[in-house]
Amino acid sequence: MNSDLELFLYPNENGYIGKLTLNISNDSNINENLLSKSNVSTIVILDRSGSMGNSVPRFVNKILPEIFKSLNYNDADIITLITFDSNPNKYTIPIRQLTNFNIKCQGQTFMAPGITMLTNFIRNELPKDCHALRLLTISDGEVHDQNQVQTVASQLTSLIKNDFIINSQAIRLFTSSSQPDTRAVSSLLQLNNTTNVNLLDLKTSLTDIEISVTIASLFSNDSLNRHAILKSKETILKTTPWQTSTYDTISLFPGENLFWLSKLPTTTLNVGKKIVKIHLQEQLTVETYENLLKTKIDYYINQLKILKIVNTVESQIEINDIMNYFQNIENSLLSNDNDNNILLNDSSLRARLQYLKNSIIRKKKSFVMRLSQIANDDKVSQLNSAQQAEYLRSIDNTSKNARGLARRAVTQGLDFNEILRKQIRIMSEHIHELNDIDDNDHLVSFFSQDTTLGGIRAVCQLVTDDILDDVNANDILRMINIVGIACSGPIGEFPDPMTWRVNELYLGCYVSLSDILTAFMQSKGQPLQTPATNKIITNVIPIIENERIAKFLQKYAPSLLEYTCSIGMRRLLADVPMTSGYTICAGVWKLVEDLNVNKSELHLKTFDQLVKTYEIVVGNYFQHIMPYIKEQDDRFSYYIANNGTTNMISPFIKLYRENDIKKLQQIPKILRALYTYEIWQAIRKQYKNRDDSDIIAQKMLDQLVGLDLNKYKTLVQPLFENEPLLNEIKFHDQIHIDELYLDELFKTIYYVDYITLLPKYISAVINNNNTNNIKDISSINENSICQTLNINYDLKTFKFYNIIQALLYTSKASRVDSDNEKMKIIDLIDEKAAKNMVQDYIRKRFENQYSTDLAIKGRSERTELVGILVQSILQSHDHNEMIKLMREGLTRGKIQLSITNSSSLGFIELKDKLLNLNEKIPRRLDIIKVFLLGRDYKNNDEPVWNNGNVLFTSNFNDFEQIFITLGYVNEWEKIKTEYFKRNLHIYRDGFNRHGHGNTKPSYWAYGFMTLQLYKDHVSAEIFKEYCEIHHDCCGVSQILATTTTVATNQVNYCGGFSSFTLWQLYSSNGMFMNINTTSCNFISTPVYFTSMTGSNNHLSLSSYTAIYSPTTTTTVTTTITTVATNSAYYCNGISSFTLWQLYSPNGLFMDIDTTGCRFNSTPLYFTSMAGTSSHWDLAGYTAIYSPTNTSFRIYTRSLNTMNSTEMLSYSQTYIWNVNWFGISY
């Protein structure tokens, strides 16, 4: 067979780009050997909702038949019609039946179920020989399930896009003045992989012929039924280069075809029965690359726009994949371009300007640049439906109109490019103001060999050359050339620039941040280094020695310096106020440290320059601090609004400028406040942003003061012996400093001593204007520091007290009273008060330990006493002794304990033993009778326990079994009759809101939790009478209307785990989760319960037990929820308040033992809190920690101000029992 098919292969970094031109002959015999026999399936997705009105039958009966006629379909051809409204429907119809097909509008606009039905049809019902699809989507309104539409559409795309050739088109139908939903309709346009997509706007006022002809044109030239298949014996073919999978076949269409190969074919390639001849081409160049892609440019632009409008996680990933491929290949090609030689051979500002001009010419021709403008346009998602449709139809997004469309839709947000361009234009208009400045003696960059003024003139030249609009912010920042001192420092996000610090200053080495960026480009990624010493330069501390230039920049282009310093600090553009100020401030602070040991002329000159530059750049930014500098209460630390050293440099400058003696006298107090603040900041780094920060701080504090709770604690008295009064106990309060640990902490605050030098150095610059005076300032030592701080005890002890204060008062709220403009912490100048602060803490810790031991003692006393009481009741010799024990309990010392009701300690133990026939109980039946009826049946029915009421119990049948087993059936019948006779709740006077009272008691008043349980336990006559009285309440009508019989010991359960991956953002401080319970098959809306499990932090969450919008299926989400149904094992219990233990200064915990439940696997646990008072103030106790089949843990904290000691006391006083239940499957 002779070959007339030629494949040209162009090697690139990831394989080869293939170009093959397919010429279709009019000779059917030739085409027979060439074209594929694959079938084409046609699917119409039609909005059938109520807003479509008569357009539904019009399209189905009239317009669709005309469309298929125009496309030369046969009357017998089958099409698939999928409609969506409140529910989806699928119809497989021969075209000839469309005209008489009965269909009308209905329901709401839910599109996602229709797409799901489309997915199922393609995957399960499509003929196996069908590999080509025509999809037409028609809708007129805004869908109600936008997020679900995007989810299921993305899933469909990932499933089929690489397996079919698809022509997917969409119609926005205008049936009214409302805008159809562009984003939802576009969700199916992303399936298109053959032609450019079209989103048509059609009005129903057009004729049937006009509409049908227009729609038919979308499919008339797609060649789906005239395509060929390129086959390889190797899986090396890809239709797009960013595909992760390769195939052994791809589809070819008439004309030029472009595709990718992962490697050079080693076997023959065939199209039909024809062999393809391969021509290997030379390496790609910029020109051949652009020529190859010119036929695909519009297609890729079109695809990117659809993905931007769809705006899902999946579409963003695909955009990134597309952009990464084209960016990498273009960068590779441009790396060999001659333009780079300009920079490589010349680092001057003039060379940079020329490079920019050449780059602009190249960018205007760049295909990747056009794609990037679309990919990086984050404003598309904020356009309305009409604007999105206009955006999608605009082929070239690089036009001013297309860019303007996006800008008009967004009135907020920063555009760094536009900000800098605007400021440079203004600066250019006023550049003449600097004409008379001679910069010959200004600092010159060793790299660009130019000054800051030279950089200003260079960026203004961009305006003169009319290329400013073609450069971006990064280009401008590579030109501005603000010269300063080279330095090294950390690079990070630094949302608070105040925290940035200089590691090392390279004095005498002058350069600009622009030079660092340019050198990085020149060297292809290598950092700029200092001459001779070869130290890496990461940032520059600006020095603007001419005041007029500094003020010129501040007035006309304030963002230039800010953005330059942002790049230096973060390596990204960010509009964070005072980034420039804090950059210079960090330089000043580092020089203070360096000047302590080196007072060379260069150091002194640089310090003078930096302070004066800083003063100009910062201006009055810190003026708000100045009013605080006045006489204050000497007992407390000096209030400067919680500002640190970096924020006080400007106020110090102003203080010395003002030279007010009274204010200058406050400097020692200010320095002590700064000393305290900086130590707090340094210490809190060791626990900041940790969930257990309070625990870490307390451990650090305890180690530092040598706290040994076991060695020095006050012992409690033996059980049942009285304790001394609290004010009679002398708790341990001595300090045992851990010297090694203190030295370790001192290393983290080494720099605070330099604070004492700062005002001295600034004074030399400001007051005397003579930095030589700094030479007379001695290096810091303990005496000089103490003298400057005005403290009269040793420095080590002062630092120790500061560290203790930092660990005692860890938060700003505990240290600062901003409302009253004063500090809450003491001034540590007072050594006695400082020592008392430490001893008070130690004493309180031992007092808390004593309280904990007392609680444990109380728990042990009650546990021991209740055991004795239960055993005494069970082994009582006669009836009267048993009655007395049940009525009065037992007393030991000051502890009195009785079983008063079913919530009392000992109740469960007593009940379990009574029901356990293995226990030897002489008077078992006698005790049970009193236990159930609550009264002394031998002595005038006087109340014994439970306020004389009968016991509400779920174990009633178990008690019955005891009597039957022991042969006392008749006695049980008497007890049972008496039980139901007395089992009546006594109401207050009148009727409650349900209409129940003493003359009309409800089933609940008889002791039954549900009406069904009441029905099951009383005679038919009694229940009939009840229903006649309560015919309009209590759910009587519902229970009479059903034939379902519910067993008293069974409940229909269904539970599950919903994955953490389902959490979604709801607001700035909240999240939500939609939970799918469809698999439970609830026939009516159930009662839902939720709890939270996790490894950490969920103690601090709230409201996750609040149920919103419950239904039988709840909101439909992804199927990550694991559901268990059918046979559920349920077990519940009450865990006594005596189990609470101290956890932290503001929290308690309880370990709950569920061993008795005998769960086979870890169940789902749920908890609630019971008590007599104050438990409404608690939070966190529904968060389940460390669940197993035998136990779990809960924590609780106060929502208000209770500390853990108070909480523990309240838990015992107000009986904070924990109710819990578990379900296992």
pLDDT tens sequence across 324-346 = 777 777 666 665 555 555 555 66
Selection from 182-196, 538-552, 978-992 with the highest mean pLDDT? 538-552
Are 926 and 1016 found together in one domain? no
Query: Are 220 and 246 in a shared domain?
Result: no
Q: Are residues 222 and 235 in the same domain?
A: no
Residue-level pLDDT at 317: 78
Q: Identify whether residues 348 and 496 lie together within a single domain.
A: no
- What is the spatial order of strands in the sheet that 1164-1170 belongs to? 1129-1135, 1217-1224, 1164-1170
CA distance 185 to 115: 11
Indicate whether 213 and 237 sit together in one domain.
no
**Domain finish residue from 1024, 1048, 1072:** 1048
Q: What is the pLDDT of residue 482?
A: 95
Mean pLDDT of 476-496: 91
In a domain? residue 292:
no
Residues 779 and 898 occupy one common structural domain: no
Instruction: Please indicate, yes or no, whether residues 62 and 202 belong to a single structural domain of this protein.
Output: yes
Q: Which domain holds residue 954?
A: 875-958
Same domain, 220 and 268: no
Asked if pLDDT for residue 436 goes beyond 90, the answer is yes
CATH number of the domain at 239, please. 2.60.40
Task: Select the more confidently predicted residue: 365 or 943.
Answer: 943
CATH number at residue 116: 3.40.50.410
In a domain, 409, yes or no: no
Of 126-135, 337-346, 937-946, least confident by mean pLDDT is 337-346
Residue 445, domain member (yes or no): yes
Residue 373 lies in a domain: yes
pLDDT of 1037 reads 60
Question: Average pLDDT in the 945-953 region?
Answer: 86
Shared-domain flag, residues 455 and 432: yes
pLDDT at 406: 33
Q: Which residues of 724-749 are buried (b: 16+ CB within 10 A; e: fewer)?
A: eeeeeeebbbeeeeeeeebeebeeeb
Q: Are 637 and 676 in contact (CB under 8 A)?
A: yes
- Alpha carbon distance 155, 112 (integer Å): 11
Cα(228)–Cα(249) distance, rounded to whole angstroms? 10
| pLDDT tens by residue, 13-55 | 778 999 998 887 665 555 666 676 668 899 999 999 888 889 9
The Cβ-side half-sphere exposure at 306, using a 13 Å CA radius, reads 28
Q: How far apart are CA 949 and CA 935, in angstroms?
A: 8
> Is-contact 510 444, C-beta < 8 A?
yes
**Rounded CA gap, 462 and 472, in Å?**
11
Supply the pLDDT for residue 503. 96
Is there a domain that residue 525 lies in? yes
pLDDT at 12 over 90: no
Going 157 to 161 to 164 to 167, the CA torsion angle's sign is: positive
911 has pLDDT over 80: yes
Q: Is residue 978 very low, low, confident or very high in pLDDT (cuts 50, 70, 90)?
A: confident
Percent of the chain surpassing pLDDT 90: 43
pLDDT tier at 299 (50, 70, 90 boundaries)?
confident
CATH of the domain at 1194: 2.60.40.2080
138 falls within a domain: yes
The pLDDT value recorded for residue 1115 is: 38
Query: Are the CB atoms for 733 and 579 separated by under 8 Å?
Result: no
Q: What is residue 395's predicted lDDT score, i.e. its pLDDT? A: 42
pLDDT at position 1059 is: 72
- pLDDT tier for residue 1096 given thresholds of 50, 70 and 90: low
Would you give the distance in Å from CA 805 to the centre of its chain?
34
Structural contact between residues 555 and 616, judged by C-beta atoms closer than 8 angstroms: no
pLDDT average, residue stretch 615-628: 93
945's tokens: 């326990």
Going by pLDDT thresholds of 50, 70 and 90, the confidence category of residue 1116 is very low
Q: What pLDDT, on the 0 to 100 scale, is given for residue 405?
A: 33
| Angstrom distance (rounded) from CA 44 to CA 60 | 10
- Per-residue pLDDT, averaged over 345-370, amounts to 66
Residues 19/256, Cβ–Cβ less than 8 Å: yes
- Whether residue 477 has pLDDT greater than 70: yes
Predicted confidence (pLDDT) per residue in 1020-1039, tens digit: 787 888 888 887 777 676 55
Q: Are 1144 and 1196 in contact, with CB atoms under 8 Å apart?
A: no
The token duo for 430 is: 């006023």
Instruction: Let me know whether 381 and 431 are in one domain.
Output: no
| Per-residue confidence (pLDDT) for residue 1035, from 0 to 100 | 64
pLDDT at position 611, please? 94
Q: From 226, 242, 274, give the residue that closes a domain.
A: 226
Tell me phi and psi for residue 752, to 5 degrees.
-65, -25
Among 411-420, 652-661, 886-895, 1195-1204, the minimum mean pLDDT is found in 411-420
- The highest-confidence range among 32-46, 168-182, 856-870, 946-960, by mean pLDDT, is 856-870
Same domain, 445 and 523: yes
**Residue 492, in any domain of the structure:** yes
In this model, does residue 596 exceed pLDDT 80? yes
Upper half-sphere CA count for residue 46 (Cβ side, 13 Å): 29
* Tens-digit pLDDT profile for residues 1119-1164: 333 344 445 677 888 887 778 888 877 889 999 988 888 888 888 8
Separation between Cα atoms, residue 492 and residue 579, nearest integer Å: 13
Picking from 922, 921, 942, 924, the residue whose alpha carbon sits closest to that of residue 933 is: 942
Average pLDDT over residues 478-497: 91
Distances 736 to 698, 702, 747, 793, 808 between C-alpha atoms, Å: 16, 10, 20, 19, 17
Which residue shows structure tokens 């003063």? 615
Q: What is the 3-state secondary structure (H, E, C) of 1039-1093?
A: HHHCCCCCCCCCCCCCEEECCHHHCEEEECCEEECCCCCHHHCCCCCCCCCCCEE
Residue 1084: how many other CB atoms lie within 10 Å: 6
Residues 214 and 77 occupy one common structural domain = yes
Number of structural domains the chain divides into: 8
**In the prediction, which pLDDT does 1219 show?**
84
Mean pLDDT across 914-922: 93
Domain end (from 993, 1026, 1048): 1048
Mean pLDDT of the chain: 83
Q: Which residue has the higher pLDDT, 356 or 754?
A: 754
The Cα 11–Cα 17 span in angstroms is 6
Asked if the structure places residue 642 within a domain, the reply is no
CA angle 881–884–889, rounded 5-degree value: 120
